[in-house]
Structure 1
Amino acid sequence: MERTTIRDVAKKAGVSITTVSKALNDYTDVNPETRKHIQEIARQMNYVPNVAGRSMGGRVDKVIGLLINDLRPMDPSGAVYGILSGVCHACQDNNIEFILMTTDGHQQAQRSLKVLCLSKQLTGLICTGFRLHDPYLKQLDEIDIPCAFIDVRIDNPDVLDITMDNERAAYEAVSFLIKNGRKNIALVNGGPEADVAILRGSGYRWAMEEAGLPIQPNRVLDAGFQEDIAYQRVRHLLERDSSVDALFCASDLMALGACKAIEERGLTVGDQIAVVGFDDIPSARYLYGGLTTVRQDFYLMGYMAGKAIYEKIEGKTDVRVDNMMYELVVRNSARGKL
């Protein structure tokens, strides 16, 4: 990425470099209107101070940044910690600096991805927790450092996709339910703004259509990957459709909400209604006699992302990351033969 210099800002503003420096550092001896004018030009030109140039003789260490979107107070799935620790350990193993950053929709609208990367002196970037409509996904052509996205397919050959085969994993989970006698299977999905939800929904449809089972729109629920919303959606579903005999949930958190709704109806999870989740979160093995789920390795995702970005920084041209492995773990909530 070509960096805008203080000299460029001074030339555009028609003032000296000293005046620009004072204006950007809010010195009181600069006319307020001039200060405002210079600050606006600097903003328009995506100018950020060259912090590395002020120290260590201008030497820049190689730095990989992990950017987490919409970080929440709690992480019951363990996904954030798993990815974070995986990236961190990959950086440690390859002796490269690592920093953690967070963002959200508002911050993305306020500061471009290019400015963020420049201000943090990044030489590599890993992104997780992003949705398809997030602004930064449209700004990837503006950065020229190695970049990877976890669980989002990016239509850019220079950006690495770190993910598993979500469609096939969902297909296998629903096929397992069908193989073990379930015919009236509902889907509790995460919403169209999440790429993994699109793929897991596609896997559900694939399995149902292959088995010749009808896909009823009222049995396709959007719960936004939230346990409480899944509870409400499933509760309403069971009130109007007593023939449902299985639920495929695109996350374990939603599966737990679904199980709660089932039990409140006086039904038994695993017998009258089978439930399959996705992720294998830490609590999945303990609740409702054990949750049948698709296990994925968040730590490995983070580690492979960090390793791949390090290799690209070092100039390796043929870096590729195969889809992560997954496993259907059968427990009490949906029993049967694989």
Structure 2
Amino acid sequence: MGKIDIIKLAEALNLSKSTVSRAFRDSSDINPQTKERILKMAKELNYQPNHYASNLREQRSKTIAVVVPELANNYFTQIIQGVEKVAKTEGYHILIYVTDDDIEKERDFIRSLSNGRVDGVVMSVTGESTDHSYLQHINFERLPIVFFDRTYDDIDAPKVVTDDYHSSFMATEHLLENGCERIAYLVVNKEQSIGKTRMQGYVDALKKHGMPLLEGLVVDCSNSYTENDEIIGHFLLRHAPDGVLASVERLAFSTYYACKRLEIDIPQDLKLIAFSSLEIASLLDPALSTIRQPAVDIGERSAHILLKQLAGHVLEESERRVVLNSELVVRASSGMK
């Protein structure tokens, strides 16, 4: 049926547009059974009424939603800072929504925001391996969305990402050049865009240097520090890697904890590098080598693109997919020379 509006919803129910409209206004002059049928069909078709559109079509809320998987990661807080910095210059406020990597929360947030509460959304997505077709029913002219970091490739919306493949390749090559022969790749979800792309960089770097991808060296972890302590500790004892590439920051922390508990010396016994924008990485013991993503810049670019859309301008093709470069910062944890 395509994107659902009130006219299509009325046609599907064989009712008049005014009857459907009264159901959403909670009008008293509508049969309760009819109202229930309308609301049920609307939910099934993922239709959300825009309560502002009928009377306030030209009015803006001057608010942008920022949807992130978590706030514990310093990376996302820096991105939020970037969005807010740009939004403020144009008189916009931001609202922050945290999905906790829960696709149901993501769906609920977007559905609730599509009724006019905010003018637009910048979002790092959650459910790449699950059904996210609900977005195909969102009217992006009414609610423009800009993806950053984690994206849905099958959704036609602007995206701001980093050079994950090149960064992972470069980090793996750095470990190889520092003498590592059994390099592990730690990942939370191999099916997510970032996990998949970073893993490919890792695999191709090994291949370039004639190193096999050894069984068991790609480790599936979780978002729980408690679970990761057990997963990584068990892995280190069983497979004895001499290098670790952590695809996200929390997995580097868990590796530090596990190594300390097992009396594995970093970097003497195990060299470690991680994707991280942690500002205190240099203060860890030993200082953590990082692939530092331009988090604030990601937020700024995402906000600029969204505000350009809200101003009614057509995006250039180069603005539909922006790829920013990360920086390899070598410190003691990977055997800084």
Fold-level similarity (TM above 0.5): yes
Partner of 2:74: 78
Relative to the length of structure 2, the TM-score reads 0.82
Partner of 1:288: 285
Partner of 1:217: 215
One-letter amino acid of the structure 1 residue matched with residue 6 of structure 2:
T
Matched, 1:4 2:3: no
Q: How many residues align?
A: 327
More displaced 10-residue stretch of structure 1: 44-53 or 262-271: 44-53
Partner of 2:327: 327
Secondary structure, in 3 states, of the residue corresponding to 1:188? Answer: strand
Any residues of structure 2 matched to 1:96-111 within 5 Å, and which? 96=92, 98-103=94-99, 104-107=102-105
Any residues of structure 2 matched to 1:142-291 within 5 Å, and which? 142-145=138-141, 146-155=144-153, 158-242=156-240, 244-291=241-288
Cα deviation, 1:285-308, whole Å, max 9, x if unaligned, reads 222221111111222111100101
One-letter amino acid of the structure 2 residue matched with residue 265 of structure 1:
L
How far apart, in 1, do the equivalents of 2:259 and 2:91 lie?
Answer: 50
Partner of 1:91: 87
Tell me, yes or no, if the aligned pair for 2:10 and 2:17 is still in contact at 8 Å: no
How far apart, in 1, do the equivalents of 2:237 and 2:44 lie?
Answer: 55
Secondary structure, in 3 states, of the residue corresponding to 1:289? Answer: coil
Change (3 A) 1:246 1:68: same
* 1:151 CA displacement: 1.6
* 1:165 CA displacement: 0.7
How far apart, in 1, do the equivalents of 2:137 and 2:298 lie?
Answer: 24
Can you give the 5+ residue segments of structure 2 that lack an aligned partner in the other structure?
A: none
One-letter amino acid of the structure 2 residue matched with residue 4 of structure 1:
I
More displaced 10-residue stretch of structure 1: 179-188 or 40-49: 40-49
* 1:42 CA displacement: 4.7
Secondary structure, in 3 states, of the residue corresponding to 1:162? Answer: strand
One-letter amino acid of the structure 2 residue matched with residue 119 of structure 1:
N
How far apart, in 1, do the equivalents of 2:135 and 2:268 lie?
Answer: 49
How far apart, in 1, do the equivalents of 2:33 and 2:72 lie?
Answer: 50
Cα deviation, 1:182-229, whole Å, max 9, x if unaligned, reads 112111112223211111111111111111112112111011354433
Can you give the 5+ residue segments of structure 1 that lack an aligned partner in the other structure?
A: none
* 1:54 CA displacement: 4.3
One-letter amino acid of the structure 1 residue matched with residue 274 of structure 2:
G
More displaced 10-residue stretch of structure 1: 319-328 or 255-264: 319-328
Partner of 2:67: 68
Change (3 A) 1:51 1:102: farther
Larger radius of gyration: 1
Tell me, yes or no, if the aligned pair for 2:68 and 2:76 is still in contact at 8 Å: no
Q: Alpha carbon RMSD of aligned pairs, Å?
A: 3.3
Change (3 A) 1:21 1:101: farther
Change (3 A) 1:142 1:11: closer
